[in-house]
Amino acid sequence: MPNAFISKLESFEPLHADDRAWLISISNRTREVGADQDLISEGDNPENVLLILDGFAMRYKLTSTGRRQIFAYLIPGDFCDLHVALLKTMDHSIGTLSPCRVAYLSPSIVLEMTERRPALTRALWMCSLVDGATLREWLVNLGQRSAPHRISHLFCELHERMKAVGLTDDGSFELPLTQSELSDTMGLSVVHVNRSLKELREAGLVSLRNERILIPNVQRLKDYSDFDPSYLHLRWPNPGRDVSAK
């Protein structure tokens, strides 16, 4: 299996062999974390930058009444937050959605990345810029699209991101999300999410089973959801085997 961290960075910037070797060496300090665990909680003072190597995680906030809003999904290769070393306290929480393997990077490692390795610095800047662009796209999705189109747009985005790190196979990829989690992401009731997923299944656009999603025709789903992947700014050939969008 390709190293998702390296694959993600190389989707933005070609890396030298010594940079790739260094990235492998720094991501060896890992910990296995079970599903439904907070990696960082709102109000924490983080000591390390966390990197997801395997599994799914989320960024979220809770209201004073305990209602949850999920506003980002983290997949293999994603930093939990590259800027946490600069923050005194976290303004949101990061939790696992499935069992995860997480690397812990010290601020000194991040400093070496940004001060001594220019190709990595450019790739990290792109990661940060794409995070902002993705959040803007999510705001449009929530405010301007119908429920089935919101959900299908998210599926298209996750397909492109997973494909970029080599984790799709003919339109299929891991998707360990419950209807409750989709509800907290899309601002919909669980009943509305269930109805929308049924509509997508009956139209032959997606199939969901055993924490995986299959998109039989990726381009058809993109057309349905009005999905334009340009906000993800993926520039380089991906290492995946996915040929479904051809």
Q: Which two tokens stand for residue 112?
A: 């070496």
Whole-angstrom distance, CA of residue 129 vs CA of residue 231: 10
Residue 20 CA: distances (Å) to CA of 17, 134, 170, 239: 5, 26, 27, 15
Per-residue pLDDT 10s for the chain (246 aa) are 458 889 899 988 888 999 999 998 888 889 999 999 999 999 888 888 899 999 999 999 999 999 999 999 999 999 887 766 666 788 899 999 999 999 988 878 888 888 888 898 899 889 989 999 999 999 999 999 999 999 999 999 999 999 999 999 999 999 999 999 999 999 999 999 999 999 999 999 999 999 999 999 999 999 999 999 999 998 744 444 343 443
From first CA to last CA, the distance across the chain in angstroms is: 23
Whole-angstrom distance, CA of residue 84 vs CA of residue 201: 39
Whole-angstrom distance, CA of residue 105 vs CA of residue 79: 10
Q: What is the CATH number of the domain that holds 35?
A: 2.60.120.10
- The reply to whether 97 and 166 lie within a common domain is no
Dihedral angle sign, alpha carbons of residues 172, 167, 197, 139: negative
- The reply to whether 9 and 121 lie within a common domain is yes
Residue 173's domain comprises: 146-232
Q: Does residue 11 lie within any of the structural domains?
A: yes
- The reply to whether 98 and 174 lie within a common domain is no
Q: Does residue 110 lie within any of the structural domains?
A: yes
- The reply to whether 113 and 151 lie within a common domain is no
One-letter amino acid identity for 67? Answer: R
User: Radius of gyration of the chain from Cα atoms?
Assistant: 18
- The reply to whether 187 and 96 lie within a common domain is no
What pLDDT score was predicted for residue 243?
37
Q: How many domains does the chain have?
A: 2
What pLDDT score was predicted for residue 87?
66
The single residue listed with the structure tokens 């979220």 is 60
Q: Does residue 164 lie within any of the structural domains?
A: yes
What pLDDT score was predicted for residue 85?
60
* Residue 46: count of CB within 10 angstroms of its CB: 21
What pLDDT score was predicted for residue 207?
97
Q: Are 203 and 129 in contact, with CB atoms under 8 Å apart? A: no
CA atoms within 13 A on the CB side of 3: 15
pTM of the model: 0.90
Q: Are 232 and 134 in contact, with CB atoms under 8 Å apart? A: yes
- The reply to whether 161 and 227 lie within a common domain is yes
Q: Which two tokens stand for residue 95?
A: 């939790």
Whole-angstrom distance, CA of residue 186 vs CA of residue 188: 5
Q: Does residue 20 lie within any of the structural domains?
A: yes
